[in-house]
Amino acid sequence: MKKLAIILIAAVAMISCGNTYTAKTVALSNQNDSMNYALGLVNGAQMKMYQLRNDSSMETVTEFIDALQRGYDGKVEELSEAGSIGRNIGQAIKNAEKNGLADNPAWAINQKIFFQGLVNGLRHDTTVMKADDARNYFQTQYQNASALDSVEPGKVVKGKCIYKVKTIALNTQNDSVNYAFGYLNGDEIARYVLLLDTTGQLTKDFITNINKGLKSTVKNPQIVNMGEQIGKNIKAQEAQGLIGEPSLATDFVLIKQGFINGLLGFTEQMDGTQAGEYIQNTMNTIKYGTVKEDGEKFLAENELKEGVTTTESGLQYEVIKMGRGKKPAVTDKVKVHYHGTLIDGTVFDSSVERGEPTSFGLNQVIKGWTEGLQLMPVGSKFRFYIPQELGYGAQAAGSIPPYSTLIFEVELLSIEK
């Protein structure tokens, strides 16, 4: 469906169950427990930072967690696309009683006029206003809205959405703004949502749910909708394992408490950043643990070979050719030729194959290079065996998997000033 340009954005409204949630420590007995908790915590912390940055009240947190539970339990009301949009609009207009139409407190919401404009737009009735006129009028008023900042908000007029097209008088600027905005929404919905409604059932569903949305008591419907969707997604993905990893089982209780702690800023066991790092490192270990083990085994055997030297840091090297020039310092810039492979011989990068040397500062590369190149006089060619902790560690780097041991043949061509 084409994206609606004007339609009010809100969420399916559901009444909060009124539960009370508190931040608390939880027992994390194993990796599976920690992963579930961390997943909830990192998402809760991010929501607090972004979606709830303007309202992190306990009421909003409660609405979200209630919705999360409903989504996971499969207790979310299923609506058609038309019904969902209708519910969204009803809830948005309900909220506009407090915030004003289009979040301008100077534009008092007149539900009767807005909904009449909406219905007339659905039916393409041009008696009061045409679509282009409505669009131009509303956009002009919206752009000039700052001029109305000092205007006292008018009285909210309540009403419900009816099905019948009707010609109405627009006696004030506020009337015209309400009607124009309603008409634009109706015109968009008719063209992109109800275009194939040959029986009128979708239109009926749409308007019915507008009126249901008007009766909702939810404070933050977008957060509620997000909670329901996340809960549904967790349940739907449960069979595939947590985050799609079959070795990790979903524990919704821990995920839920993680969300609560993240939303309430509780960091006693871990904060959002630590949770994100834990998830990434654990998933890397699960997926690439054998890469790390294979690298450690390779290095243990390699250091026993004749000509291989192991430094205190764990870097291994052997001299292919010893030059007679000056050794670079950590602050120097050098020019080198290199050929890099994994321990299975896979080439991941090679200036030799490209036929062009490269230059860089010694303090701008991985630790293994920084240390190793300081051992080389200009004109030397060494082979480095770099443990993963002196390479890219848990991070993937292009075609290099996390925890990879790296092998480089490096020729130091010059020190550049």
Residues serving a catalytic function are 338, 348-349, 366, 392, 408
Neighbours of 347 (CB within 10 A): 12
Q: Is residue 211 packed enough to be buried (19+ CB in 10 Å), middle (13-18) or exposed (0-12)?
A: middle
Neighbours of 241 (CB within 10 A): 13
CA 225 to chain centre: 15
Tell the residue number behind the tokens 């009767």, with chain if given. 112
Tell the residue number behind the tokens 């968009």, with chain if given. 188
Task: Go through 126-136 and write b for each residue having 16 or more CB atoms within 10 A of its CB, e for each that does not.
Answer: eebbebeebbe
What is the rounded distance in angstroms from the CA atom of residue 408 to the CA atom of residue 102?
A: 61
377: left (phi over 0), alpha (psi -120 to 50) or beta: beta
Residue 412, token pair as written in the block:
């130091």
Close Cβ partners of 365 (under 8 Å, ≥ 6 residues apart): none
Neighbours of 389 (CB within 10 A): 16
State the amino acid at position 162 in one-letter form.
I
Neighbours of 401 (CB within 10 A): 20
Total count of residues recorded for the chain: 417
What is the rounded distance in angstroms from the CA atom of residue 125 to the CA atom of residue 215?
A: 28
Residue 330, token pair as written in the block:
């950590």
Q: Is residue 181 packed enough to be buried (19+ CB in 10 Å), middle (13-18) or exposed (0-12)?
A: buried
Q: What share of the chain is helix, strand, coil (3-state, %, to 5)?
A: 50, 10, 40
